[in-house]
Structure 1
C-alpha cells in the first residue's frame, strides 16, 4: 500500500489512486554513445590569426583576444626579481627593515587583541564582587 500527504490535514493517509510506485521497478538500459573526438590546435578554435601572431612577435597575448599584454614597468620588474630570488629569507621579510617593522607591529597588535579577548571572556565569566 502507498501513502500520500493529505493536503487539508497534512497527515499521511492511505492512497487509493496510486497503484504504482513513483520509481521504476525495472532498470532501463542506458544508450551507449561514443564521446566526441578531442581536436587540438585547429584553426576554428584559435582566436589568434597568423598575421596578428607574427605582428605580436614573442609577446604573450591576453587570453581570448588578439591584444598583447602591456609592457611591465621597470620598478615592478626589479621588485619581482627581488621577491623571486632564492635567498632563504621569508617573503614577508624580503622588503628590508620596513617589512620587518611592519611584521613585528602586526604580531604586537595580534597579541594585544588576544589579550583583550581573554580579558573580555574573563570579565564575563567571573562576576564582580559587591
Structure 2
C-alpha cells in the first residue's frame, strides 16, 4: 500500500490514485542483448614480423619496438638462483650474514621504539607526585 499527504489534514493517508511505486514512471523490462565479441588484431600489438624472428627461437622485444630485451648478466642470474632456491630460509635472510645482522638490528630498533612508546604513554598516564 502506498501513502500520500492529505490536503485537508496534512497527515499520511492511503493513496488511491498511485498504481506503482514509480508513479508516473512505468518500469520497462530489461532487454537482453549479447555482448559484442572482442577481436584482437595482433598486427597492432607488435611491430615484429615472423620474417624478423630469431632462428634460435622467439625473443621478447620491448613493447612497441623491434628492440629485443638485453641478455640478463650472469651475476643477476646467480642471485636469482640463490633467492629462488627451496631451502626453508626466509627470503630476507638469503643474502648472507649481512642480512642476518640487518634483520637483528631492525628487530632491536623496533623493540627500543616500542619501549619508548610505552614509556611515553606511562609518563602521560601517571601524574608526577
Does the 8 Å CA contact 2:82/2:94 hold for their aligned counterparts?
Answer: yes
Alpha-carbon shift at residue 36 of structure 1 (Å): 1.8
Structure 1 residues 70-79 or 45-54, which shifts more? Answer: 45-54
Q: Distance in 2 between matches of 1:127 and 1:79?
A: 56
**TM-score, scaled to structure 2:** 0.68
Q: CA deviation at 1:128?
A: 1.1
Q: Deviations over 1:63-106 (max 9, x none)?
A: 44433212222211111111111111111111111111111001
Unaligned runs of 5+ in 2: 6-20
Quick one: distance in 2 between partners of 1:68 and 1:35? Answer: 37
Measure the CA separation in 1 of the matches of 2:90 and 2:45: 41
TM-score, normalised relative to structure 1: 0.68
Aligned to 1:100, what secondary structure does the other structure show? helix
CA RMSD of aligned residues (A): 2.9
Q: How many residues align?
A: 110
Gaps of 5+ in 1: 3-20
